[in-house]
Amino acid sequence: MDSTQQRPARLTVGVIGPGRVGSVVGAALERAGHTVAAASAVSAASRDRVERRLPNARLCEPAEVVASCDLVLLTVPDDALRPLVRGLVETGTDVQGRLLVHTSGSHGYGVLDDATAKGALPLALHPVMTFTGRDEDLHRLATCSFGVTAPDALRPIAEALVVEMGAEPVWIAEEHRTLYHAALAGGANHLVTLVAESAALLTAAGVEQPGRMLGPLLGAALDNALRLGIDGLSGPVLRGDSATVAAHLAELRAYAPESVASYVALARLTADRALAAGLLKPHDAERLLDVLQA
């Protein structure tokens, strides 16, 4: 007998909003032995994802998804989450005893309060991963962490679901959810912008394959940052090379003026952190900050 058939408490799962995230989390739960039986999809792309990733799910209206399932994934955009829950409750959808799970990073379980008041069991399970819509998303899910927030009584269920998907549950307090999400967005989303910016500037400087040049450098920098924190810092700000930083700014003003503000802001933050860590001497920091007044 397959090992998944021996495990208790297999759930019937529904997905409301089977986009890039919902379709992958649904598929991961099915791979863990649960059954994705229903989905509500509006766009053609979402319906296609259901067909490809959740082939056992029948398409139906959101209220019917909730009525027919033990666990419902509410994988809609952040701003649509509370109105969706309120709409389900106001139209009389029976949420009593059902696990309602959202994957929003910025919300805890409080966003599900309207349904919780009617007996729903609220969970916030946020996969700390970027989703591209490609097949590798499902494999990446099993290597990532989930930010888990739930009432204390439901914490074991929330954490068990994450472990079943092969990921690591990390507890995030309800009151820290927005700070947690700001940290992730700043790290991951802004990283993409910074790398794309670096690649564009290298192209302007005549480098034909900027990705090939950046790969080893950025890989080492990321590894250093994750292992060593600010002690992994290198470069002109750390060395106090104010003349080099001034030259960078002059060149950016000439070739990429839209990049000046971000360079200045990040260089200031780097100098502040390096100074606080004792890596940058105060007199060097003063010269740098004078240059960065522009």
Residue entry with tokens 């082939």: 55
Domain spans of the chain, in order of start: 3-172, 180-291
211: phi then psi, degrees, rounded to nearest 5: -65, -40
Domain 3-172 identical in fold to domain 180-291: no
Is 3-172 a domain of CATH 1.10.3720.10?
Answer: no
* CA distances for 159 relative to 171, 175, 179, 201, angstroms: 9, 19, 21, 44
Helix (H) or strand (E) segment spanning residue 185: none
pTM comes to 0.87
Q: How many angstroms from the chain centroid is the CA of residue 83?
A: 22
Max CA pair span of the chain: 71
Contact 126, 146 (CB under 8 A): yes
What pLDDT is stored for residue 19 in this prediction?
92
The residue type of 34 is: H
- Name beta bridge partners: 146: 127, 169
Q: Locate tokens 């307090």: which residue?
A: 173
- The pLDDT of residue 135 is 84
- Summarised one tens digit per residue, pLDDT across range 138-159 is 999 988 999 999 999 999 999 9
106-129 residue pLDDT tens:
999 999 999 999 999 999 999 999
The pLDDT, as a whole number, for residue 55 is: 94
Low-confidence ranges of the chain (pLDDT < 70): 1-8, 294
- pLDDT of amino acid 133: 83
Has domain 180-291 been given CATH number 1.10.1040? yes
